[in-house]
Amino acid sequence: MPNNNLTERYVAAMNRIAKWRQPFCSWQLGSRLKGDPECDAVRDHREATILQRVELTAVTKLLIDKGVFTMEEFQKGMIDECALLEQDYQKKFPGMQATDIGIQYDQRAAETMKNWKP
């Protein structure tokens, strides 16, 4: 059975990286309120794509490195991949950072979003 602390870290890392669905949706469609059908669909798709990327990268790395792995090894790999992807997203969207409650914006975000649809 997985370590409870590891499971909590795994769930937190997955929830945090999934917060990037909103900037991707806004980047594609412009700012929209939650409940807008088109935005909700894109946000759902982006979340699935983000999580699949993390899962595939982690599984592939573990399969290559270990050949066989446990659930705890899988969760650790996912946490690591979430951290790496978080860094990539911060580079792609300067001024934005995922937190446990959503995306945090600083002054650089205005420049990042200046040509996004309203």
d(CA 43, CA 20): 9
Question: pLDDT (tens digit, 9 = 90+) per residue, 4-61?
Answer: 899 999 999 999 999 999 999 999 999 888 899 999 999 999 999 999 999 999 988 8
Per-residue pLDDT for 69 more than 80? no
Q: Where are the domains of the chain?
A: 4-112
Q: What is the pLDDT of residue 4?
A: 83
Which tokens sit at 109?
């975000």
Q: What is the pLDDT of residue 2?
A: 60
Q: What is the pLDDT of residue 85?
A: 96
Averaged pLDDT of the chain: 91
Q: How many residues does the chain have?
A: 118
Q: Which of 17, 12, 15, 32 is nearest to 83 (CA)?
A: 17
Q: Where are the alpha helices (DSSP H) in 1-118?
A: 4-18, 21-29, 37-65, 71-92, 108-112
